[in-house]
Chains A and B, each alone.
Chain A
Amino acid sequence: MKKTMKATAAAALFSFAAATSAIADGHAWAPEGPIKMMIAFAAGGGADTHARLIAEDIEASLGWEVIPEQVTGKGGVNALVALKDMPADGSAIALVVTESLGYNAAAAKGAGVSPSDFTGLTTTAGFQMGVVAKADKGWTSFEDMIVAAKGGELRFGTMSPKLSDLAFLLGEAQGVEFNIVQVRGGRAVMDGVEAGDMDLGFMAGIQGKGVASGDLVNLASALSGPLKQTPDAPTFADLGVQFSADGYFVFVAPAGMDDAARDAITAAIAEATNSGKASGMINKAFGGAVNIQGAELDALLQSDFDSAGQLMEAVQ
């Protein structure tokens, strides 16, 4: 009931907004029917929440009907497989991570997906991927942890095969061996580290609050650049690993989408990530919106896909 009313109100608003924005922003394109938004992450988590807020923001500001739907599993590959054969008329989009189209698409040979099957729309936010441990371990720096690892094998929590590879390479570069424990989702790593089931692990921004309060420590940045929250922590390049965990949430559509639709949807999502409820949540959970789009996004997706093979070879 509430939703119907909201939709009607939004529609009324839209008739006005559309008239103005069509002239102002060039939003000439509008979807013919509802847009199916596939979300490759479990309901209730940060990724899911921000996608649903973006859907709500778009509904409110443009009057398009966006229907979110969970298509989870296989690190986003299931969503990509489902999306691949849908019509490229803007009626179906999916939220995955760049890793889904990169490492995971390359690793899932049987699924038959690659960046050329999709039209990249825009990224929404980047990961502040750190190597994190609980403060009461007593490690204040990355070196402290390595000293401890030399004394006995440590458990390293990760949430994807790519990150497991990175953890392995990190150990190799530092001359220690980790017991790599791969779990499902960033929340599970944090719970594991909190409960003492793991000694350290990758966290992609979820550690923000804990680091701020001093309960958790960012030992290193798994990115190519420093972490915003702990700029002094060494990066993977500093630590002798030539790969990084740079990654973003990204919206994609099937390949062959016409430019008007691509531009309109990209603009709608980008605007939602920078204003309204979605923006607030993204600032809080992921440290601000990152909108990589167009040719730059195409290049990013392709290079991630291509470099996946090198990473897989490096851990053999």
Chain B
Amino acid sequence: MGVWDHVIAGVLAVFQSDPVLGVPITILMVLGGFLLGITVGATPGLAGPMAMAISLPILISVFGYSNDALLPVLGFLIGIMKGATIGGAVPAILFNTPGTPDAYMTTLDGYPMAQKGEAKRALRVAHFSSASGDTFSDIVLVLCAPFLAILVESYLDLPEKTALLILSLAFIASVIGNSVGKGLISMGLGLLAAMVATGEDFYPRLTLGQPALAEGIPIAAAILGVLILGEVFKALEDIHHNGVFSSAAQTVRQDAKVGTLGLRKLLPYIGRSAVIGTCIGALPGVGSTLAATLGYTSAKRRHTKEKEPGAPDFGEGAPEGIAATEAANSSVSGANLIPVLSLGIPGNAAAVFLILAMDSIGGFNPGPSVFQLGGGISAGALNPEMVMAFGIFTTMFVANGLNWTIGGMFMRSVGVMARIPKERLLPIVLLLTLTAIYVQETSMVAVWITLFFGFVGYAMRRIDMSPLPFVIAFILGGNLEATARQAFAATGADPFFLFNSPIALAFIALAVAVVIFSLRKPAS
């Protein structure tokens, strides 16, 4: 069976899923996730990954562990991921408060536009740019991921795969956060956590004799603890010290007429930013915030040179600024699935939760084997994982379609979310997270483990150490150790297996180079 059979089977898997109220369930789930994502994105203090984390256990309870569960669950999560990015622009424009960190640059021109009475136009520019960037990025994903996977599978042997994992981890530790040293510490701690009770011997290693740890640290407990609880603890303390501020006090004048979008002028900015965002997104570890910053600054440079006299400068309400930012941060979401699907490496928090979902449900192991035509083992059969991958692509395009059609309309109605006070919302998020963990693990010990990792995540934020390398290393740690073991055994116990082939050697050299090069980065 050829590639096209898989593409068609994947598309059909989405459109022929069990209908609920006459609509295929997967499409309904994408819609639900997308609307939830916009709402969450528009709520300052909540972000897409948080909503993904809390929804996941509920989704798994609804759909169970069967193969049919994968697409509806992943569709919902992908919907959230995409919705949150455009939702983040809403309070940024209306209230000068970014709903998600990557929408900070949107406040710079969005809010001045709103003050001038052009809020609607600003929202429309944001929506159009966001949807364009997103669509572009998804197309790149579909074109690149399978080829990258096939390349990896046909040219890389076990030692090279080990080296590639090491390179990815080194890259992630180096580019996330302000300090390579702290990134590496964060990563080392993540690797260490991944080692608990996971050895090959029957002795449960590093458990300090605690039977509660004999099955290892529950993945969800560590990830949700560090990423969500840590953030909640820190945000609440900031409110405790700085007092409550009513960020969303004043509403802006709504403009009567929207006027023209001025698409012709915006398109070059959108295009450049979409390319920047897609490239950034394809690299593991570099997030949408950096993409937004790069998109904005490069557009600013171009704008000062080429703007028409009389048009507003960047920072004074230029629609080009919004377009550049939103196209860049939205185009990360598709591309960041390139390393996820072709290598099994999550590049950012959203990807972490997608991998967590695939891992919990089972039946789909992201990585190079996904795109093997022989994966169904016989020429006449479809490779179920490849079908699933094209199903996932289809859900992304469904989300895009929703974005183009109803996204803009829905976006304009969620401005009210910015009025929910954080100090009320975050404790509820905390309780919801702990309940979600309990429902999955049914043990108070797991709740305590989650709280423990919450304290770890809090401490990391206080000492300016990014928790993301920890989480990614925690996810990849088992994989790295297993691949290294296999490579060592397969080469007949060659201690230099990482250095004997030119490709592996090159990967290792690059890993060292990336760390050294990042050391020269000025501390900001």
Direct contact of A and B (CB under 8 A): yes
Q: Which residues of A are in contact with B by a Cβ distance under 8 Å? A: 42-45, 48-49, 52, 69, 71-75, 77-78, 81, 104, 107-111, 153, 155, 161, 179-184, 187, 190-192, 194-198, 207, 209-210, 212-216
* Alpha-carbon distance A127/B214, docked complex (angstroms): 28
Contact B360 A43 (CB under 8 A): yes
Total contacts A-B at CB 8 Å: 103
* Alpha-carbon distance A215/B373, docked complex (angstroms): 12
Contact B486 A215 (CB under 8 A): no
Given known A-B contacts A78-B214, A195-B372, A179 and B202 have beta carbons under 8 A apart: no
Q: Which of B91-99, B309-317, B489-497 contacts A (4 or more CB under 8 A)?
A: B489-497
Min C-beta distance of A74 to chain B, whole Å:
6
Min C-beta distance of B373 to chain A, whole Å:
10
Is B76 in contact with chain A by the CB < 8 A criterion? no
Given known A-B contacts A213-B378, A215-B378, A183 and B202 have beta carbons under 8 A apart: no
Among A43, A110, A180, A213, point to the contact of B489 (Cβ < 8 A). A180
Contact B381 A209 (CB under 8 A): yes
Contacts of B486 in A (CB 8 A): 181-183, 192, 197
Among A43, A52, A198, point to the contact of B490 (Cβ < 8 A). A198
Which partner residue on chain B sits nearest A192 by CB separation?
B486
Contact B202 A197 (CB under 8 A): no
* Alpha-carbon distance A307/B64, docked complex (angstroms): 39
Contacts of A69 in B (CB 8 A): 442
Contact A184 B482 (CB under 8 A): yes
Contact B215 A44 (CB under 8 A): no
* Alpha-carbon distance A195/B161, docked complex (angstroms): 12
Given A196-B157, A210-B377, A215-B374, 15 extra CB contacts under 8 A = A44-B65, A44-B364, A45-B362, A52-B64, A73-B215, A104-B202, A110-B203, A153-B492, A191-B369, A194-B375, A195-B368, A197-B486, A198-B490, A209-B376, A209-B378
Min C-beta distance of B327 to chain A, whole Å:
37
* Alpha-carbon distance A107/B201, docked complex (angstroms): 9
Which partner residue on chain B sits nearest A213 by CB separation?
B378
Given known A-B contacts A191-B369, A195-B368, A182 and B203 have beta carbons under 8 A apart: no
Contacts of A42 in B (CB 8 A): 362
Contact A74 B372 (CB under 8 A): no
Given known A-B contacts A43-B362, A110-B202, A153-B492, A216 and B377 have beta carbons under 8 A apart: yes
Given known A-B contacts A197-B157, A215-B377, A78 and B362 have beta carbons under 8 A apart: no
Q: Which residues of B are in contact with A by a Cβ distance under 8 Å? A: 64-67, 153, 157-158, 197-198, 200, 202-204, 211, 214-216, 360-365, 368-369, 372, 374-381, 442, 482, 485-486, 489-492
Contacts of B491 in A (CB 8 A): 179
Contacts of B216 in A (CB 8 A): 73
Contact B202 A74 (CB under 8 A): yes
Given known A-B contacts A44-B65, A213-B377, A215-B378, A111 and B489 have beta carbons under 8 A apart: no
* Alpha-carbon distance A181/B157, docked complex (angstroms): 13
Contacts of B442 in A (CB 8 A): 69
Contacts of B65 in A (CB 8 A): 43-44, 48, 52
Contacts of A155 in B (CB 8 A): 490
The 9 A-B pairs at the shortest CB distance, nearest first, are namely A44-B362, A213-B378, A108-B202, A44-B363, A43-B362, A210-B377, A43-B65, A191-B369, A155-B490
Which partner residue on chain A sits nearest B370 by CB separation?
A191
Which partner residue on chain B sits nearest A110 by CB separation?
B203
Which partner residue on chain B sits nearest A53 by CB separation?
B66
Contact B202 A194 (CB under 8 A): no
Contact A213 B380 (CB under 8 A): yes
Which partner residue on chain A sits nearest B60 by CB separation?
A43
* Alpha-carbon distance A209/B379, docked complex (angstroms): 10
Contacts of B153 in A (CB 8 A): 195
Contacts of B378 in A (CB 8 A): 209-210, 212-215
Min C-beta distance of A289 to chain B, whole Å:
21
Residue pairs across A and B with Cβ atoms less than 8 A apart, 25 shown, are A43-B360, A43-B361, A44-B65, A44-B361, A48-B65, A48-B362, A52-B64, A71-B215, A81-B214, A108-B202, A109-B202, A111-B202, A153-B492, A179-B489, A179-B491, A183-B486, A194-B369, A194-B372, A194-B375, A195-B153, A197-B490, A198-B490, A209-B381, A215-B378, A216-B377
Contacts of B67 in A (CB 8 A): 44
* Alpha-carbon distance A166/B181, docked complex (angstroms): 46
Given known A-B contacts A43-B65, A48-B362, A194-B369, A209 and B377 have beta carbons under 8 A apart: yes
Contacts of A43 in B (CB 8 A): 65, 360-363
* Alpha-carbon distance A277/B29, docked complex (angstroms): 27
Given known A-B contacts A44-B67, A110-B202, A195-B369, A213 and B381 have beta carbons under 8 A apart: yes
Point out which of B380, B490, B492 has the most chain A C-beta atoms below 10 A from its C-beta. B490
Which partner residue on chain A sits nearest B378 by CB separation?
A213
Contact B374 A194 (CB under 8 A): yes
* Alpha-carbon distance A207/B377, docked complex (angstroms): 8
Which partner residue on chain B sits nearest A108 by CB separation?
B202
* Alpha-carbon distance A91/B486, docked complex (angstroms): 40
Given known A-B contacts A44-B65, A181-B490, A197 and B158 have beta carbons under 8 A apart: yes
Contacts of A216 in B (CB 8 A): 377
Contacts of B492 in A (CB 8 A): 153, 179
* Alpha-carbon distance A81/B215, docked complex (angstroms): 11
Min C-beta distance of B135 to chain A, whole Å:
31
Which partner residue on chain B sits nearest A42 by CB separation?
B362
Which partner residue on chain B sits nearest A207 by CB separation?
B377
Which partner residue on chain B sits nearest A195 by CB separation?
B153
Contacts of A44 in B (CB 8 A): 65, 67, 361-364
Among B66, B215, B376, point to the contact of A72 (Cβ < 8 A). B215
